[in-house]
A and B are shown apart, each in its own frame.
Chain A
């Protein structure tokens, strides 16, 4: 199985800050990487597919990058509505494992 490791597990930043979440795959997955956002008590929402393709309606301050084994999700200009837990997911090969999640809070 491919292991997905996210870092940090949590972060606290000020409104307007730039934050970066890393996701590392235990073996190469090309760009078969998705990012999801789960707000407290809510259903996960797909933000980014193919490592860097923003889904319709997702703010452009979110950006995904990477390929192979290392990926990042960057939020440029953190907003209060970005408070959530973010998960990466490998969908290159079964099982399509998720990372452990990164909880983002406002300082």
Chain B
């Protein structure tokens, strides 16, 4: 069974750094693109970016480029989303999700992780 298990909820202060994780199991991690999606409180889904763990090719939404870093570790089948300096406006639920077809970036997201809630407050 394909599963994506995300790290637990985080409470941070503005200016702090953070790295959240998404551990994959049940498939060949290096062969599927994996993406990150933001959902701010009471709002819709926002596509942030994707990474191909096979060669670390990464694509970002212009809305997020420069604000986040997406990375992956093939050895432990884990993708990451990190911030170097959090803002209050980064408060949101963050989902990782696998692109549904092997090797293709142009496919929908399925399955999804359970989400990681990030709260940034002074």
How far in angstroms is the closest Cβ of chain A from B1? Answer: 14
Given known pairs A36-B45, A89-B47, A101-B45, the reply for A94 and B110 (CB within 8 Å) is: no
* Interface 9-residue window, one of B9-17, B19-27, B55-63, B71-79: B55-63
| Chain B residues, Cβ within 8 Å of A68 | none
| Chain A residues within 8 Å of B, Cβ to Cβ | 1, 32, 34, 36, 38, 43-46, 49, 55, 85, 87, 89, 91-101
Q: Is there an interface contact between B108 and A91, defined as CB atoms closer than 8 Å? A: yes
| Chain A residues, Cβ within 8 Å of B112 | 43-45
Q: Is there an interface contact between A95 and B62, defined as CB atoms closer than 8 Å? A: yes
B53, CB-defined interface residue at 8 Å: no
Tell me how many residue pairs across A and B have CB atoms closer than 8 Å.
68
Q: Is there an interface contact between B108 and A44, defined as CB atoms closer than 8 Å? A: no
Q: Is there an interface contact between A46 and B62, defined as CB atoms closer than 8 Å? A: no
Among A46, A100, A101, chain B packs the most CB atoms within 10 A around the CB of: A46
**Chain B at the A interface: mostly helix, strand, loop or mixed?**
strand
Given known pairs A43-B115, A89-B108, A101-B44, the reply for A1 and B62 (CB within 8 Å) is: yes
How far in angstroms is the closest Cβ of chain B from A22? Answer: 16
| Chain A residues, Cβ within 8 Å of B97 | 44
Q: Is there an interface contact between B106 and A32, defined as CB atoms closer than 8 Å? A: yes
| Chain B residues within 8 Å of A, Cβ to Cβ | 35, 37, 44-47, 49-50, 59-63, 95, 97, 100, 105-115
Q: CA separation between A44 and B107, bound complex, in Å?
A: 16
How far in angstroms is the closest Cβ of chain B from A14? Answer: 26
Give the residue name and chain of the B residue nearest to A55 (CB). Answer: B110
How far in angstroms is the closest Cβ of chain A from B51? Answer: 12
Given known pairs A1-B62, A44-B95, A46-B100, the reply for A87 and B45 (CB within 8 Å) is: yes
Q: CA separation between A1 and B106, bound complex, in Å?
A: 15
| Chain B residues, Cβ within 8 Å of A36 | 45, 108-109
How far in angstroms is the closest Cβ of chain A from B75? Answer: 27
Q: Is there an interface contact between A95 and B61, defined as CB atoms closer than 8 Å? A: yes
Given known pairs A43-B112, A43-B115, A44-B112, the reply for A98 and B47 (CB within 8 Å) is: yes
Given A36-B109, A89-B47, A94-B105, 8 more A-B residue pairs with CB atoms under 8 Å apart are: A1-B61, A43-B112, A44-B109, A87-B45, A94-B59, A95-B59, A95-B60, A96-B47
